[in-house]
Structure 1
Amino acid sequence: MSMEYRMRRTLPSNRAAIILPVDHGLIFDRIEGLETPSAPFPAWADSDVTGFMMTPGQVKQTEKFFAARPHLTRVLTIDTYYDFAVLDGGGVHELITTVEEAVRMGVDAVKMLFPWNMSRAQQAALCHRVGTVIAACEAWDIPLVLEPVLIGAPRSEETIAEEERVARIAYDLGAHIIKIAFPGEERTARLVEELKVPLVIAGGPKTGEVSDTVDAVAGTLRAGARGVIVGRGIWQRDPADGARALKEIAALTRAVSFAD
């Protein structure tokens, strides 16, 4: 399979992607709404999502489920992190599997965090690690979704500006898709226009009302983002509210299309 084939599966051109992340167990252990790691798939697979962001264990346990639903894409998280505090340089970020293994498992893309609140030496090591992964992705024709983030930082203007800056570093390293927390419609539009790399927007933790989540998605799509990665804002809500949010988000994503 080619890079183009996997990119088109991950980010369809006839709509914006809705990727439901359920890989939180790598960091949060037993998280509310994800007590049974395989539960989200039958619960949400038929709710107009385009795919899921998953752990290696989830991929292995759900092979038959996804074989029967080839229209759904799978993005494999290949890293994890622990004990980050804002700008203290004490975090640990490591790979948990390889690009070659991801290809063997048949997923459509791989995903890595790009946590920047660390020491200069750790930042340099991280860039080297990402560069090695991107080289492997090019060799195996599989896209990397790279997520610039300041882990644990408050959503201040300073944090948002810094994550926008780090998104440019992700571009220079060769990321195929950039995932970033919503920096606002204007900043999103600027990143889309200047970087000319597919941008997907992360929903983050459950906050506010359903209308807040839907409004943020609408802003990302107006700005030209290729998709949204929204999880806790869906599956940690009351089931009826989560279903309503996803239905409204799906309608928005089907109202846009992208040139091939």
Structure 2
Amino acid sequence: MSMEYRLRRTLPSDRVAIIMPVDHGLIFDRIAGLETPSSPFPAWADKDVTGFMMTPGQVRQTEKFFARHPHLTRVLTIDTYYDYRELDGTGSHGLITSVEEAVRLGVDAVKMLFPWNMSKKERVEMCTRVGKVIAACDRWDIPLVLEPVIMGAPRTEEVVVEEEKVARIAYDLGAHIIKIAFPGEERTRRLVEELKVPLVIAGGPLAGAPGETIEAVAGTIRAGARGVIVGRNIWQREPGPAGEVLAEIARLTRATRFDD
């Protein structure tokens, strides 16, 4: 398979992608809505999502399900990060599987955190690790979704600006897709226009009324992002409101096409 084939499966040209992340167990252990880690797939697969962001365990446990739903894409999380609540540089990051294993499992893309609240020495080690993963992705023709993030930090203006800077470092390292928490419509548009790398926007934890989630997605799409990563803002709501939010997001994502 080619890089372009996997990119178009992950980020289709005829709509904005809706990728539902369900990989939170790598950091949060047992989390509300994911008590049974394989339960989101049958619950949401037919609700107009385009794919899921998953752990290695979920990929292995759901092989038959995804064989019956080949239109859904799978993005494999290949790393983890602990002590993320500490903002003093004491976090620890590492890979949990390899790019080669991801290709063997038949997924469409791999995803990796790019945390930046760490010491300068750890930042260099982090960039070195990312560089090796990107080289492996290029060798195996599978895209890397790289996520610049200040782990555990409140969404202050300072943090938003810092994550935007780290997104540019992700570009320079060679990320194929950049995933970032929504920095606002204007900043998203600038990143899309300047970096010219597909941008996907993370929805983050459950917060606010359904209308706030929908408006954030609308701003994301207006700014030119190729995908929305929406998980907890869907599956941690009550089923009725959750379905309504996802249906409206799907309507918005289908109103945009890309000239690929």
Which bracket does the TM-score occupy, shorter chain normalised? over 0.9
- Cross-structure match for 1:203: 203
Residue in structure 2 matched with residue 132 of structure 1 by the alignment: 132
Residue 87 of structure 1: how far off its partner (Å): 3.8
Distance 1:170 1:249 in 2: 27
Task: After TM superposition, list the pairs within 5 Å mapping 1:187-202 onto structure 2.
Answer: 187-202=187-202
User: How far apart in 2 are the matches of 1:188 and 1:86?
Assistant: 27
Q: Say whether 1:51 aligns with 2:51.
A: yes
Between the aligned partners of 1:65 and 1:177, the Cα distance in structure 2 is: 26
Structure 2 letter corresponding to 1:66: F
Q: Which runs of 5+ in 1 are unaligned?
A: none
Give the drift of 1:86. 5.0
Which consecutive unaligned segments of at least 5 residues does structure 2 have?
Answer: none
Amino acid at match of 2:159: T
Letter of the structure 1 residue corresponding to residue 259 of structure 2: A
SS in 2 for 1:33: coil
Map Cα deviations across residues 17-36 of structure 1 (whole Å, 9 max, x no partner): 00000000000011000000
1:95-129 Cα deviation digits (max 9, x unpaired): 00000000000000000000000000000000000
CA distance in 2, matches of 1:82, 1:165: 23
* TM-fit CA distance, 1:188: 0.1
Structure 1 counterpart of 2:26, one-letter code: L
* 1:206-229 CA distance string (max 9 Å, x none): 001110000000000000000100
Q: Which amino acid aligns with 1:106?
A: G
Say whether the 8 Å CA contact 1:86–1:150 is kept in structure 2: no
After TM superposition, the structure 1 = structure 2 runs for residues 25-44 of structure 1, keeping only pairs within 5 Å, are: 25-44=25-44
Deviation at 1:89, TM superposition (A): 1.1
Alignment-mate amino acid for residue 199 of structure 2: L
Q: Is the 8 A contact 2:177 2:200 kept in 1?
A: yes
Distance 2:223 2:250 in 1: 17
Alignment of 1:81-96 (within 5 A): 81-85=81-85, 87-96=87-96
Give the match for residue 256 of structure 1. Answer: 256
- The equivalent residue for 1:178 is 178
2:244 counterpart of 1:240: no
Displacement of 1:85 in angstroms is: 3.9
Q: Distance in 2 between matches of 1:129 and 1:65?
A: 33
Partner of 1:114: 114
4+ residue runs over 2 A deviation: 84-87
Matched to 1:54, the amino acid is: M
TM-score normalised per structure 1:
0.99
> Given the alignment of the two structures, is residue 10 of structure 1 paired with residue 17 of structure 2, yes or no?
no
The alignment status of 1:77 with 2:84, answered yes or no, reads no
**1-structure distance, mates of 2:98, 2:112:** 11
Q: Secondary structure at the match of 2:128?
A: helix
Equivalent pair of 2:87/2:151 in contact (CA under 8 Å): no
Equivalenced residue count is 260
Question: What's the CA shift for 1:80?
Answer: 0.3
Q: Deviations over 1:11-64 (max 9, x none)?
A: 000000000000000000110000000000000000000000000000000000
Contact 1:114–1:148 (Cα < 8 Å) also in 2: yes
* SS in structure 1 at match of 2:207: coil
CA distance in 1, matches of 2:257, 2:213: 21
Letter matched to residue 185 of structure 1: E
The residue that corresponds to 1:215 in the other structure is: 215
1:214–1:249 CA contact under 8 A, matched in 2: yes
SS in 1 for 2:218: helix
Q: Which has the higher mean CA deviation after the structures are superposed, 107-116 or 85-94?
A: 85-94
Please give the per-residue CA displacement for 1:178-231, whole angstroms capped at 9, x wherever unaligned: 000000000000000000000000000000111000000000000000010000
Shift of 1:84: 2.5
The alignment's TM-score, normalised by the length of structure 2, stands at: 0.99
Show the 5 A alignment for 1:57-68: 57-68=57-68
Distance 1:234 1:163 in 2: 24
